[in-house]
Amino acid sequence: MASFELARFKQLPLIAILRAQRLEDIPAIVGALAQGGFYTIEVTMNSPAAVEQIRTAITSGSDQLSIGAGTVTTLEELDAAHQAGASFIVTPIVVPEIITECARRGIPIFPGAFTPSEIHTAHRLGATMVKLFPAHRLGPGYIRDIKAPLSSIPILATGGITPENIAEYAQAGAEGFGIGSPLLSREHIAAQDWHWLRDRAAQFCSAWSSAHN
């Protein structure tokens, strides 16, 4: 497993969010995402057997993949994820003690925030990037408004990101994207349609490249 490197992430700033997947499907999901071009994957801590899922994702993925833990809301979950090998941490909300502890340990941290005050607080506490969640509730225009006074704070837009709208979010100022259900279709995963997942991942990577260039 590759450690999380911000410079590398900026080249393809897409995080695939694995939530409530079956443990036995993790190797195939990780493989399809990697074949489609993703190299940053998050396993949420509210998934069944989350710690084992993180370990499985790490052992089943290539050396190029960076596997992190999401939906971390307590220091106990942070410890469990870190011990399992997670190379970065994502939270759904601003939890000051998690942000500062990650900063102390040198673990990249993407705390979730929504209001300007939350975004600024998360950044001030040491966030690597601030996850704007749920981004689709107010859309790209909200990011554009936020970035006007807070232009130095890197934003990871999460929630409702698709290949069709990623360019609009990027143009509004989002530097990265967390992608869950629009990528990891429950229907296709239940059918074990790994070719579809590979192709869907490739669509996101292509959409980012087109928006970025």
Please say if the pLDDT value at position 188 is more than 80.
yes
3-state DSSP percent of the chain in helix, strand and coil, to 5: 50, 15, 35
Q: What is the CATH number of domain 6-209?
A: 3.20.20.70
| Rounded mean pLDDT, 50-66 | 91
| Rounded mean pLDDT, 75-80 | 98
For tokens 């990780």, what's the residue? 30
| Rounded mean pLDDT, 34-44 | 97
* Confidence at residue 212, expressed as pLDDT on a 0 to 100 scale: 78
Query: Alpha helices of the chain — where are they, by DSSP H?
Result: 6-11, 26-36, 50-60, 75-84, 96-105, 116-125, 139-147, 166-172, 186-190, 194-212
pLDDT in tens, 111-135: 999 999 999 999 999 999 999 999 9
Question: How much is the pTM?
Answer: 0.96
Of the listed 42, 77, 101, 147, which one is catalytic? 42
pLDDT in tens, 137-151: 999 999 999 999 999
* Amino acid, single-letter form, for residue 16: A
| Residue 57 burial (CB count, 10 A) | 27
Please say if the pLDDT value at position 189 is more than 80.
yes
Please say if the pLDDT value at position 62 is more than 80.
no
C-alpha closest to that of 70 among 17, 13, 131: 17
Please say if the pLDDT value at position 213 is more than 80.
no
* Confidence at residue 137, expressed as pLDDT on a 0 to 100 scale: 92
Please say if the pLDDT value at position 173 is more than 90.
yes
Rounded Cα distance between 18 and 70, Å, is: 9
Of the listed 77, 101, 131, 147, which one is catalytic? 131
Rounded Cα distance between 148 and 206, Å, is: 28
Please say if the pLDDT value at position 172 is more than 80.
yes
* 24 catalytically annotated: no
pLDDT band at 21 (very low <50, low <70, confident <90, very high): very high
* 97 catalytically annotated: no
